[in-house]
Amino acid sequence: MAKIPVQFTLNGAEKAEFIDSGTTLLHALRDKIGDTSPKGGCHQGTCGACSVIIDGELRLSCLTLAETCNGAAITTTSGLSQGGVLHPLQRAFLDAFATQCGFCTPGMIMAAKVLLDHTPDPSRDEVVEALSGNICRCTGYEPIIQAVLTAARSNSQNAA
Amino acid sequence: MAIKRGRGVAAINYPTGMNLGGDPTQALVHSTPTGNFMVTLSSVDLGQGMKQIMAQICAETIGVPTDRVVVDTADTDTGPHCMGTFASRGTHRAGNAVIQAAREARQVMLEVAAEELEVNASDLETDGQGNILVKGAPQRSISIFDVALSAHFKRGRSISGRGMFLIPRSYPEKETGAMKPSTCYAHACTVAEVEVDDETGEITVLTVKNVFEIGRALNPKMVEQQLVGGSWMGISHALYETTEPYYPDRDHGGTDFNQYLMPGPGDLAQTEIIVLERPSADGPYGAKGPGEMCANPQIPAIANAVFDAVGVRIDTLPITPERILRALKAQASN
Amino acid sequence: MALALQTFSTVKDANAALKAAGTRYLGGGTLVVRGANEGDVSVSSLIRSTEPALSAITVSGDNVRIGASLTMAAIAGHPNLVALARAARAVGGPAIRNMATVGGNLFAPAPYGDFTVALLALDAIVSTEGGEKPIETFLAKRQSNHAIVTEVGFTLPAEGLRFLKVSRVKPKGVSVLSIAAVLEQAPDGTVSSAHIALGCMADRPMRAKAAEEALLGRKLTSDGIAPALAVASDGTSPVTDPIASAWYRNEVLPVHLGRLLLA
Amino acid sequence: MELRKSYFADQRKDDLHEIGQPRPRSDSPGHVTGKTAYFADRNFPGMLHLKMVRSPYHHARIRSIDTSEAQMHPGVVKILTAKDVPHNVYTILILIQIGPEDETVLADGKVRWKGEAVVAVLAETERAAQEATAKVKVDYEVLPAVFDMEEALKPGAPVVNEYHGRNYYLYDSGECRKVRFGDVEAGFAGADHVLEQTYQSSPIEHAPTETTGCIVAPEGNDRFTCYTNTQAMFFTLDNASIILQMPGNRLHFVGGTVGGGFGGKVDVIVEPIAILGAKLTGRPVSFIYSREEEMQISSPRAAEKVVIKDGAMKDGRIVARKVTGYTDAGAYSRHSPYGAQKGAGHYPGPYTIPNVWIDTYCVYTNRTPSSAMRGFGVTIGDFALEVQMDKLARLIGMDPLEFRFINAYRDGDMKAHRQPTEGAALIECMQEASRAANWPVAEKFMAMSSYAKGA
């Protein structure tokens, strides 16, 4: 079958690829573009490891067809640090020892980023809700929740 | 409707290392020309932080800061044999192998330093910051950077070492079962507090207070990671998890994270962790394996707390709302 | 056959394409793309339509029409649809809610489909190119529906929509059961009209007709609702799945219905 | 977390430079930036995808397998059946002399659990492989299956696994691993209270977020690099070498960065067949479990049944404990015979009991083979033991925590498996729990020590 073109921005950079129709965004990002930060933990929409931000909204790249993203602005965890400086969320995950195996981490950070983009000073319940689509099997979630709350506090201090 | 509260306790021990031993692990350590150290292994990091812990063990033994140690692991073309990462054996077995290898490398390092400083190697000590000092005369010193350069380019010495750790295999005696399953045991005691809804059987774990004795917390923050995550998994095992919810009926097995139940971030018990350290005689710096045992005591503690709350015994895992409700109904009809 | 996506600007053209074998309509992808990922090779062609009407929300007075492509997140955040926010938020986690659509939810098998439970309690009308159907009729034959659902319409309930989802995992877990209720009360507090819909109490959302009738003329007190709770499980045939057994669902349905009615 | 340094301070040096320091993890920066490379974060040109045709039945004879239509399916490159596997019947613990070989890489003549691998399809795309698996025709004659361990152990039960010939593992000690210490019957006879209770669990999945898998790339010199998330590099390499009858020096395993294991990645399941596929096609091969496979096909923690009979005195001393443990191995051994006997070494728990009788059985049923998981051989036993302790305490009329102090093991106490206790710390854990949970116990218990009596 003929390949079809897709074009979008990934972490601010223009990307254009020819893909097979029906290819998921997760496969397009990982196998075509080479951004392996979104992880395939289930391909069912039940684990959140593949979470990316599309036009400001949290989406599951495993259930999104790449060709529906033409013209979109896509953000992944690999694009968060700028010039070698970690994003406050990344810093907070490090400081809180909120990663163990690390497989869920990029998806968790995406979910947390969307939360903080819309709700800079979230309550614990809002953090819990924001992370609720992302499975972690190692940490018991508490260090991750604490990391997001810490990042929010450091953001608001920086803004102040 | 009544929400009933109860608490329960459980105390456990857990063996470190593969049951009955016979599970070797090797390590190689060598310095680079500028006095950094490479640890070569074939052990696997599952996320528990094996690489970081091996770096700290090597650094402590050699006498350098941890960031001067690089761990290269799990390439069978370069790393010597390790039985694997399981049975709470990683830190204990690989750690001992790293210590042995690092000691051998340290001895060469001190010998080279001794030649440079014109003293006996036995008169030297490390300051942990990357320097080798003459005991009692710390103004006479040489940096490990310079020692490694000297070893490589002047004295033709390889600052390296080999480590192998093996607990000899024990074979159970057929009739009596006399055997040596393990050389050291971690310990725990957990008190759990629950609420049970006696109309729906729903359980909320309010608090778990865990006391863990783990030999030695080699890196306290990383120990905490495992203990907190393990305590969560223990609660999960107690109340949620199974691939066969109607066992031994084989039907209705969950196939995704929606159907395979585990506590979500909104289900977390208030968790307290207290760590005691009784160094094990054969553990690396006294460490035992904390990774598995930390998920065990919550299960019976919660089962006992449920009984304390509503007076029914659920002797089948997981302790689901359905099992509680059935037991409450049976209790009411008796 | 490899999987391929065809996009049409009109529902009419998309409906025409759906007549071919091996086709399926792509909404948010949470059911259809998942199926393809999991090896459902019976579908080789996904069809979607970008017709703007599918994404429109019209609120005129109490009358609401929601395009089938609207997501749960869009509904949960819409200022005029506060009554439905709780039901929309009951679906999935944040990412799923940004994807899952009203149209897709109508087809979600138990234990999914919580939003549809709310639509059933609202007596919604389901529209396709072929016309409109009451949601109950639509759900009864949903497996043989091949036309794209374009929108759902309903009247906003004067006294609000009561909604409850019971799940083992919080805050995001699939349903043990879900209940939606639209009640009207006379000035003396007695129930004058009751629509109660249940999720997971059959293979698709269903109405609790016996409980509805038993509520009429009764006050929302423990004693008043007792007859309704006694018949809450009439006509149910709950699913048994990894979340809960049919027995458990039937046992706790009256408990949760009671809590919803007294809340 | 709090470190309580006051305990055992006499046995510990706390002046170390690196040990005991909360150093940041060297791998975390990779995790938070998405740069950590897991095995699947590699992509090779021309890589094939492997999908399994699996048994839809719990127990069935395979009359015939017809792959002709699947072979013709566009994109299919290779189809593997049992006859393609050089050493198809294997068992992983053969490396430590625990046999017999009892499991097939690809089913040969029979399937023993629903989900068992029968035919492997290698294709250019995942979709083509999925489509082709649907075209493999396997003709089954369904056999009676047994799911309940008690049923499986009854005479006349369907035999699950012919390589054992009976539905339990035969140890050198007989039908179970045994521990005999003191005279348990005399203990019961002299006890004030006797309590026998049965505990049960069902299988539990490790559920790591990263599913089991590997990618194999031919190196072009008859060597194969296998990127894998196994928990045990050489264990997997050596087993693959046996199964493939390929010298170990042809195999190069790379791994060590794993997205969660919990014991679920110690079976040697994906690597041998993927290497075989790469060898026979000369192309890279990816075999990664779907989430459904991870949940229902990969080994779970075994279901267990534990029967505990205790004799206890009014003063709280347990004088006799008899434990019969049953481990549901499913259809094949994998690590289960070892797990069952690990239980034998673990009972009667961290308590000093003069009369102990332990039998642990490894039982075969027609379900997904179980294997190791965090707490292997112990987790369910601890549940049973510690609920039993609670029941005993209440039966005697004692505080459950005080009851445990009375029976807690201490240094020098002889264990049932005839090892003297060393390095005990149960008492101190309970003392600290008593404080932390505000669960007071008598002063004499707070004054106890795990150190040997009189030491």
Beta strands in C121-256 (DSSP E): 125-128, 131-134, 149-155, 162-167, 175-185, 191-199, 206-207
Of A31, A58, A79, the residue at which a domain comes to its end is A79
Cα–Cα dist B143/A16, whole Å: 53
Query: Is the pLDDT reported for residue D166 higher than 80?
Result: yes
- Pick from A79, A107, A131: which residue ends a domain? A79
Query: Are A70 and A95 contained in the same domain?
Result: no
Q: Which candidate from B265, B267, B325 shows the least CB-CB separation from C251?
A: B325
- Number of Cβ within 10 Å of residue B146's Cβ equals 17
pLDDT digits (tens, 9 = 90+) for D81-97: 999 999 999 999 999 99
With an 8 Å Cβ cutoff, are A139 and B232 in contact?
yes
- A72 and A92 fall within a common domain: no
First to last CA, chain A: 55
Judging contacts by C-beta atoms under 8 Å, the chain C residues touching residue B258 are: 173-174
Q: Which residues of B touch C89 (CB under 8 A)?
A: none
Cα D194 to Cα B127: distance, rounded to the nearest angstrom: 61
The structure tokens listed for D122 are 């290698």
Largest Cα span, chain D: 80
Q: How far apart are CA A63 and CA C99, in angstroms?
A: 9
Q: What is the pLDDT of residue A1?
A: 62
pLDDT per position as a tens digit, D210-248: 999 999 999 999 999 999 999 999 999 999 999 999 999
Chain D residues in contact with B95 by the CB 8 A cut-off are: none
Q: Is the pLDDT at D452 greater than 90, yes or no?
A: no
Q: Which stretches in chain B have pLDDT values below 70?
A: 1
Q: Quickly tell me which residue has 């990671």 as its tokens.
A: B225
Alpha-carbon gap, residue C201 to C209, rounded angstroms: 13
Is D388 among the domain residues? yes
Domain identity same for A96 and A61: no
Give the best residue of D33, D36, D215, D231 to mutate against chain A (max A CB count within 10 A).
Answer: D33
**Domain annotation covers residue D16:** no
Nearest-CA distance A36 → chain D (Å): 6
Cβ-contact C100, C30 below 8 angstroms: yes
pLDDT, position C246: 98
CB D340, CB D177: distance < 8 Å: yes
Task: Say how many domains are in chain A.
Answer: 2
Are residue A155 and residue A92 in the same domain, yes or no?
Answer: yes
Asked whether residue A134 falls in the same domain as residue A114, the answer is yes
Q: Are D402 and D445 in contact (CB under 8 A)?
A: yes
Residue of C nearest to A44 (CA): C34
CA D133 distance to own-chain centroid: 29
Mean residue pLDDT of chain C comes to 97
* CATH code for position A94: 1.10.150.120
pLDDT in tens, B149-171: 999 999 999 999 999 999 999 99
Contact between D54 and D297 (Cβ < 8 Å): yes
pLDDT of residue C187: 96
Interface partners of B (3+ CB pairs, < 8 Å)? A, C, D
Nearest CB to A63: which of C4, C33, C172?
Answer: C33
CATH code where residue D314 lies: 3.30.365.10
Cβ neighbours around D252 below 10 Å, total: 19
Residue D240 placed within a domain: yes
Distance from CA of B154 to the nearest CA of D (A): 30
Amino acid letter, residue A157: Q
Has residue D384 been placed in a domain?
Answer: yes
- How many domains in chain D? 2
Distance to chain B for A71, nearest Cα, Å: 32
Taking an 8 Å cut-off on Cβ atoms, the answer to whether B86 and D266 are in contact is yes
Q: What is the pLDDT of residue B185?
A: 97
Place of tokens 């003709």: D139
Are the beta carbons of C252 and B199 separated by less than 8 Å? yes
> Are C3 and D127 an interchain contact pair (Cβ–Cβ within 8 Å)?
yes
Which of C172, C240, C242 is closest, CB to CB, to B264? Answer: C172
Query: Chain A residues with CB inside 8 Å of D206's CB?
Result: 137
My answer on whether A112 and A53 are in the same domain is no
Same domain membership, residue D237 and residue D373: no
Pairing of strands B25-31, B37-41: antiparallel
For residue range C95-133, list pLDDT tens digits in order.
999 999 999 999 999 999 999 999 999 999 999 999 999
- Residue range of the domain that includes A59: 4-79
Which residues of chain B neighbour C245 with C-beta distances below 8 Å? 246, 322
Q: Write the pLDDT tens digit of every residue in C235-245.
A: 999 999 999 99
CB contact under 8 A, A47 and B257: yes
Domain boundaries, chain B: 3-16+184-333, 25-165
Is B191's CB within 8 Å of D11's CB?
no
The 10s digit of each residue's pLDDT in B173-211 is 999 999 999 999 999 999 999 999 999 999 999 999 999
**Which of B45, B210, B228, B236 best tests the A interface by mutation, with the highest count of A CBs <10 A?**
B228
Q: Does C252 contact B at CB distance below 8 Å?
A: yes
Asked if the C-beta of D290 comes within 8 angstroms of chain C's C-beta atoms, the answer is yes
Q: How far is A71 from chain D (nearest CA, A)?
A: 24
Residue type, B317: L
For residue C79, count other CB atoms closer than 10 A to its CB: 7
Residue B215's pLDDT is 98
Subunits next to D (3 or more Cβ pairs <8 Å) are A, B, C
CA dihedral defined by D156, D158, D163, D169, rounded to 10 degrees? -70
pLDDT at C2: 83
pTM: 0.98
C224 vs B: CB within 8 A: no
Amino acid found at B35:
G
Identify the closest residue of chain C to B261 by CA–CA distance: C169
Q: How many Cβ atoms sit within 10 Å of the Cβ of residue C23?
A: 17
Q: Which CATH number is A59's domain given? A: 3.10.20.30
Interface ipTM: 0.98
Cβ distance A137 to B262 less than 8 Å, yes or no, reads yes
The pLDDT value recorded for residue D14 is 87
State whether the Cα torsion C208-C214-C219-C221 is positive or negative: negative
For residue D100, the enclosing domain spans: 48-142+211-296
Q: Do D127 and C38 touch (CB under 8 A)?
A: no
Q: What angle do CA D325, D328, D332 make, to 5 degrees?
A: 130
Q: From the candidates D26, D28, D32, which should be mutated to test the interface with A, based on the most A CB atoms within 10 A?
A: D32
Are the Cβ atoms of C38 and D290 closer than 8 angstroms? yes
Range 86-145 of A in CB contact (< 8 A) with B: 97, 100-103, 125, 127-129, 131-132, 135, 137-145
Q: Which residue has the tokens 């490891």?
A: A49
Q: How many angstroms separate the CA of residue A8 from the nearest CA in chain C?
A: 18
CA dihedral C31, C37, C42, C44 (to 10 degrees): 100
Contacts of C242 in chain B (CB under 8 A): 245, 252-254, 259-261
At C145 the pLDDT is: 87
Q: Are residues A74 and A129 in the same domain?
A: no
CA dihedral sign, ordered B320, B321, B324, B327: negative
Query: Of B215, B220, B219, which is closest to residue B279 (Cα–Cα)?
Result: B215
Report helix angle D400-407 to D379-396, nearest 10: 110
Partner D contacted by B221 (CB < 8 A): yes
Query: What domains are defined for chain C?
Result: 4-49 (no CATH), 52-155 (3.30.465.10), 162-262 (3.30.390.50)
Contact D130 C1 (CB under 8 A): no
Same domain, A66 and A110: no
Which long-range contacts link C78-86 to residues 24+ away (Cβ below 8 Å)?
C81/C57, C83/C156, C83/C157, C83/C160, C83/C161, C84/C115, C84/C118, C84/C161, C86/C161, C86/C163
How confident is the model at residue D454, as a pLDDT?
56
Residue D455 has pLDDT above 60, yes or no: no
CA distances from B150 to B110, B143, B153, B154 (A): 12, 11, 5, 5
- Helix B298-310 to helix B321-333 angle (10° resolution) is 30
Å from C46 to nearest chain D CA?
14
Nearest to C169 among B1, B199, B263 (CB): B263
And the tokens for B183? 């050389």
Same domain, D241 and D289: yes
pLDDT tens track, chain A, 160 positions: 679 999 999 999 999 999 999 999 999 999 999 999 999 999 999 999 999 999 999 999 999 999 999 999 999 999 999 888 999 999 999 999 999 999 999 999 999 999 999 999 999 999 999 999 999 999 999 999 999 999 999 877 766 5
Partners of residue B231 in chain A, C-beta under 8 Å: 140
Residues of B in contact with A101 (CB under 8 A): 46-47
CA distance B61 to B105: 9
Q: Is there a common fold for B3-16+184-333 and B25-165?
A: yes
Please say whether the structural domain B25-165 has been given the CATH code 3.30.460.80: no
Residues 161-200 of C with CB under 8 A from B: 166, 168-174
Report residue B82 as tokens.
């390790």
Report d(CA D288, CA D271) in Å as an integer. Answer: 10
- Boundary residue ending a domain (D374, D398, D422): D398
The answer on A99 and A67 residing in a single domain is no
Helix (H) or strand (E) holding C17: helix C11-17
Same domain, yes or no, for D70 and D133? yes
Facing residue for C168 by CB, picked from B199, B253, B261: B261
Last-in-domain residue among A79, A108, A141: A79
Looking at the domain assignment, is residue D424 inside a domain?
no
CATH number of B3-16+184-333: 3.30.365.10
Q: How confident is the model over D125-163, as pLDDT tens digits?
A: 999 999 999 999 999 999 999 999 999 999 999 999 999
Whether C212 contacts C138, CB under 8 Å:
no
Using a CB-CB cut-off of 8 Å, the residues of chain A touching D128 are none
Q: Is residue D192 part of a domain?
A: yes
On whether the CB atoms of residues C185 and C205 are closer than 8 A, the answer is no
**Residue A67: which of C2, C5, C171 has the nearest Cβ?**
C5
Contact assessment for residue D277 and residue D285, using Cβ atoms and an 8 Å cutoff: yes
> Which residues of chain C have a CB within 8 Å of the CB of D134?
41
* Partner residue facing B264 (CB), from C169, C251, C259: C169
